[in-house]
Structure 1
Amino acid sequence: MHWNQLLSRCRLGSDQVPGGTEARTDFQRDFDRIVFSSAFRRMQDKTQVFPLSRVDYIRTRLTHSLEASSIGRSIGTQVGAQVIARRGLDDYQASDFGDICAAACLAHDIGNPPFGHSGEDAFRSWANDAPYGQRRVALLQDSEREDFTSFEGNAQGFRILTRLQNPDNPGGLQLTCATLAAFTKYPRESCLGGGRYPGVSAKKQGFFVEDRAAFEAVAERVGLIRRDGSRAVWCRHPLAFLVEAADDISYRVIDIEDGFRLGYFTFDEVMELYLDILREPDKQRLRMQSIGDNKGRVEFLRAKVINEAISQAMDCFLDNEQEILAGRFDEPLLNQFPQRAAMDRLIEVAKARIYQATEVVEIQAAGFQVINDLLERFIMVLDDLADQGEQASAKSRMISRLIPEQFIGPGRVPSSSVYSRLLRLTDFVAGMTDSYAVSLYKKLTGISLPNG
């Protein structure tokens, strides 16, 4: 792969010549388009770790995405300065690399359904096990079927960026191909026909069948290496490794800070975890003596750890740049960190002490039921309307009014395609915020009545 092509400013779905200026480049415009999208705003009420938290301090998907974007910009800009010097890329600035990473990081969780990663599990469980939903999904074949049985928020995110936001535009938000490729950590379709491809980039799917042509256009424009002539699977865009690293750094380090604020860790425990990553721990201990409280000390250390991780990510990328461009490197950059053991310790402790906490698991379990019930009830309604038309039951016609027209079909007539109906329903439920999903579930089940 070649940097001049990988950094393409061409926009998906647009024939216009890239029109950025020095004051506001094409990649900065990508960032702005994502910020002003409704899907981005909805992340303020989507779970990061603690579902439906009543504590204002705790991160949501929105604040996590903003922090990951800040980290991504720093790594990308530092990498960009070195790559430009190595490769003589006169048409680009170091900030272009940083802006691509920042925009991709900003959107990296935009496709996640309500209730965090347990929400993704709920979609998969519904498609594999629900009494009605499982039978409908079983009618599909290959990638159409696995789009649901292996539901993936990353694929939903690509769909949001390229189709669901600004749906009247070809290419949706019409982001640059460089940003869309860097966003796609898993450049493959859901079913690979029994084929097995090594490496982290093939671990999950990055787009639905309906959006395959859009990703193919992106991959061709930026020059990704295709790994199989008969299957939709490519090598990653190099900057996707930096996007992944920024996300990994953000949630590993910051989940510990959130856990401290909620009382899951003592100050001494956080000190040990963070200082173990830093190169000069004794120096940082001395600097902390001037900070008045433990909250401030944890925030100080968190910033130092992130800065150290950014430096290590940059070094790992540059050490492997040639292998990455050749498509021969395919593992998370954190795997090669000198301080990998200490970084891994953060996630191990978080899994044991935070992610399995009773208050987290209780709400995630309830969210499982909410998502399953919404999908099960609504697909029955859509199938009734599709099969019976005007003869559909009064109940189906009534409940269908709760689904916006864009998620049913033109004129509120569902598609004759089972795949299409399931996909539109997935778009509807996955796009809900945590609070809206709970509210709608309560109304549908009669737990909560208007003005009741």
Structure 2
Amino acid sequence: MFAAFACDPAESRGRCHAEEESAFRTPFQRDRDRIIHSSAFRRLKHKTQVFVEHEGDYFRTRLTHSIEVAQVARTIARVLGLNQELTEAVALAHDLGHTPFGHTGEDALAEAMAPHGGFDHNAQAIRIVTSLERHYAEFDGLNLTWETLEGIAKHNGPVTGALPYALAEYDARHDLELHTHAAAEAQVAAIADDIAYNNHDLMDGLQAGLFTEDEICGLPIVGDCFAEVDRRYPETDAIRRRHEALRRVFGVMVEDVIAESQRLIAAAAPDSPGAVRALGHPVVRFSGPLWEDLNAIRAFLFERMYRAPAVVRMRQEVTSVVAELFPLYLARTDLLPEMWQADVAGAPDRTAVARIVCDYIAGMTDRFALQEHARLIAPV
């Protein structure tokens, strides 16, 4: 049974293009399945978080990260009485709009697109699922339900001020109520994202040799988890010790979110998804003390991982890949694949062409972007 404030698929606001409902799957199940089967979701396996795709098979990719986020989100949603299928759909889709090379590629593309409306990966995810995926005979995009689209657009909170063009275009024809918070399911997906990357960045940083277990044992939460493992398993090997400790870090974050969210929900007593949206604050979040601890962990990761010399050097290299491919494609649209050239032919102005080029580059994997740069700009 769902909680009163959970999104009920039977009461969905529907899809932009009317479709006959499935006899076997709820609307939110169909959304999740369409996301999993999309081309953009498959490409996430060759898009990375911090490290570039060719640097090693061990490190998380956007795909493995999205799967981990979905797992955490389902757990929290189940305990809170929320719709797990909607939560999972938003979690699986939340990174679809990311460029190659993670936030470095996004920054480079945002700079290139500054004269043409900018670039935002959340807005790009909406553009992908409402337009760029072109596999269905009756519509462009995946024709997801309003609730899933709302969750993708607003999982990090209300979107106010000047809207990214990719989001503004869709919202103008299908109002996502961007000024409000999203339903609780999307809030769960957002915080599951925080939990997943805080944990796996510690693990990936250790694997990359950017810091040691001894160094992170000085961090809040982490030190206590290692100490507990040492007490319980004093003879275990280093690999098991690391895994046992970091899985406990994971557990601390999940348990804190569940307890704090239950407290907030009890205090607010929302009786519908609309009541959650109207509260003016999220009902799914970390407690104050744990949030402070996570800020200390993030500060450490910022200095020792995201700004590590090897990572910075690679960021400089991949920034040039995006920065050089964009003006080349903009000047030579004949280099684009045939289907993209057809879009260019119908573009009314240079800004529209730039946005098509942006869509093409944003959809590239790390591997393909490097290959195209080597082929077109820096041949051996």
What TM-score do the two structures reach when normalised by structure 1? 0.73
> Could you give the per-residue CA deviations for residues 405-432 of structure 1, whole angstroms, max 9, x where no partner exists?
333335x624123332222111101000
- 1:403 equivalent in alignment to 2:336: yes
- Indicate how the Cα distance of structure 1 residues 172 and 207 shifts in structure 2: closer, same or farther if over 3 A, else same: same
Q: Pick from 399, 404, 413: which aligns with 2:345?
A: 413
- 1:110 equivalent in alignment to 2:96: yes
| Maintained 8 Å contact 1:277/1:339 | no
- 1:257 equivalent in alignment to 2:237: no
Q: CA offset at residue 164 of structure 1? A: 1.2
- 1:369 equivalent in alignment to 2:328: no
Q: Give the number of the structure whose alpha-carbon radius of gyration is greater.
A: 1
Q: CA offset at residue 174 of structure 1? A: 2.2
| Maintained 8 Å contact 1:11/1:176 | yes
In the alignment, what sits opposite 1:355? 306
**SS of residue paired to 2:22:** coil
* C-alpha separation in 2, matches of 1:99 and 1:5: 10
- 1:316 equivalent in alignment to 2:243: no
- Indicate how the Cα distance of structure 1 residues 436 and 63 shifts in structure 2: closer, same or farther if over 3 A, else same: same
- Indicate how the Cα distance of structure 1 residues 20 and 311 shifts in structure 2: closer, same or farther if over 3 A, else same: farther
Q: Which of 1 and 2 has higher RCO (CA within 8 Å, sep 6+)? A: 2
> Could you give the per-residue CA deviations for residues 36-68 of structure 1, whole angstroms, max 9, x where no partner exists?
211111111112011134321111111111111
* C-alpha separation in 1, matches of 2:212 and 2:324: 39
In the alignment, what sits opposite 1:140? none
- 1:297 equivalent in alignment to 2:241: yes
Alignment of 1:143-292 (within 5 A): 145=117, 148=118, 151-166=119-134, 168=136, 169-170=138-139, 172-184=141-153, 185=155, 187-188=158-159, 191=162, 205=164, 207-213=166-172, 215-216=174-175, 219=176, 226=177, 233-273=179-219, 275-276=221-222, 283-289=228-234, 292=236
* C-alpha separation in 1, matches of 2:109 and 2:325: 10
Deviates more, 1:6-15 or 1:60-69: 6-15
Q: CA offset at residue 303 of structure 1? A: 1.6
What TM-score do the two structures reach when normalised by structure 2? 0.86
**SS of residue paired to 2:113:** helix
Q: CA offset at residue 123 of structure 1? A: 1.3
Q: CA offset at residue 125 of structure 1? A: 1.7
Q: CA offset at residue 25 of structure 1? A: 3.8
| Maintained 8 Å contact 2:216/2:222 | no
Give unpaired runs (5+ residues) of structure 2: 271-275
Q: Cα RMSD (Å) of the superposition?
A: 2.8
> Could you give the per-residue CA deviations for residues 108-130 of structure 1, whole angstroms, max 9, x where no partner exists?
111100111011110122234xx
* C-alpha separation in 2, matches of 1:260 and 1:283: 19
Alignment of 1:96-135 (within 5 A): 97-128=83-114, 134=115
Q: Pick from 278, 284, 306: which aligns with 1:326?
A: 278
| Maintained 8 Å contact 1:10/1:17 | no
Q: Pick from 19, 23, 27: which aligns with 2:22?
A: 19
In the alignment, what sits opposite 1:91? none
| Maintained 8 Å contact 1:76/1:101 | yes
Identity among equivalent positions (%) equals: 28
Give unpaired runs (5+ residues) of structure 1: 81-93, 129-133, 138-144, 193-204, 220-225, 227-231, 383-399
* C-alpha separation in 2, matches of 1:11 and 1:370: 41
| Maintained 8 Å contact 1:109/1:154 | yes
Q: CA offset at residue 190 of structure 1? A: 6.4
In the alignment, what sits opposite 1:74? 75
* C-alpha separation in 1, matches of 2:239 and 2:7: 46
> Could you give the per-residue CA deviations for residues 5-53 of structure 1, whole angstroms, max 9, x where no partner exists?
67544542342354353xx543233222222211111111112011134
